[in-house]
Amino acid sequence: MIPEMTNSPPRDESLDLATHVVHFSRILVGTDYSKQASVALRMAITIGEIFGSEIFLVHAVPPFVYGEGSELMPPESLTALLDAAKEDMKELVASEPRLKALRVQTAVDYGGGVDLIDHVAEKAKVNLIVVGSQGASGLERLLLGSTAETVLRKAACPVLVVGPNCHAENHPFRSVLFATDLESTSLRAAQYASALAEGADGRLTVLHVVKEFPRLPGVESDVVEARIRQHLQSLLPADVELFCKPKLRLEYGSPAEVITGVAESESASLIVVGLRDRKAFAEHAPWSTLSHVIREAKCGVLGVRGHLL
């Protein structure tokens, strides 16, 4: 049985975590008809097959021409552009025979991609958003922004980002890597990571990376490491070992490089990370790390907010 996340208010971090069920019953996929968007759709279909999900396919048509001095297009051109985009959507749905076994709704409309995704996600009450990220530096271009980056910033539900090196997984939860900084965003992300691994009889690796070993006067290094491992263990449900035996890893170095390295060594099919609240998004370091992981990882990266906003 696949474990259900309830939309309950955030719990006291000091409480033990019980096993929860994750059920992605409504999945939104943002597409621009690019190659990476196609990979994202195939990932969403696979997850949809596991949960019997309803799929919402979304494509936004900008009502202007990109470039210097962009202007609104005349109404007849807008109509033709929208009609062409709707035909592209029909062709996309027809090209994916696996969609026939799932409930599918499509939305093609004028506007920005993020705005349309946000509108449909709220209206349909989706519990997973899947988007592709094509550019090698998309998430680091914070001033210009990208659809994936902005969706990660705004979405209340988990967001699965399919990066440029990611391939569509046939078994997306067979090896789950939960990378945590041990801050307050960790608990809900830990719930998702453990529940997805448990439900699929997959492997679970819990990773914490420190740049430098913490030096505490009068405290031996092995004591510090033991405390960190105990903290990692406390994030997981007490009964997690009934379903899978989690591996706890404490590593040193650059978080971005270590996370991608461990993901490869563990043959990770999914990386789960906790997202900070929106006020913390001005901090460059967390986004630089996340950008690197999404850019280099060969699997999808699931961002989970500390609690639903």
**Domain residues of the chain, as ranges?**
26-162, 175-305
* Cα within 13 Å of Cα(199), Cβ side: 23
Closest among 306, 278, 279 to 153, alpha carbons compared? 278
When pLDDT is averaged across residues 57-83 and rounded to a whole number, the result is 73
DSSP state of 164: T
Lowest mean pLDDT among 112-126, 171-185, 266-280: 266-280
Domain 175-305 in the same topology as domain 26-162: yes
Please check the confidence at residue 116 and state whether its pLDDT lies above 50.
Answer: yes
**Which is it for strands 175-179 and 203-210: parallel, antiparallel or unpaired?**
parallel
Q: What is the pLDDT of residue 68?
A: 52
CATH 1.10.1200.120 describes domain 26-162? no
- What is the rounded average pLDDT for all residues in the chain? 82
CATH 3.40.50.620 fits 175-305, yes or no: yes
The SS3 assignment for 275 reads strand
Model pLDDT, residue 56: 98
Residue that is written with structure tokens 């969609």 in the block? 99
| pLDDT band at residue 183 using 50, 70 and 90 as cut-offs | confident
CA-CA distance, 268 to 103, in Å (whole number)?
Answer: 29
Indicate the pTM of the whole model: 0.85
pLDDT band at 138 (very low <50, low <70, confident <90, very high): very low
pLDDT (mean) for 186-208: 91
| pLDDT for the residue numbered 19 | 54
Residue with tokens 């968007």: 37
Q: Which helix (H) or strand (E) holds 162?
A: strand 159-162
Distance between CA atoms of 245 and 260, rounded to whole angstroms? 22
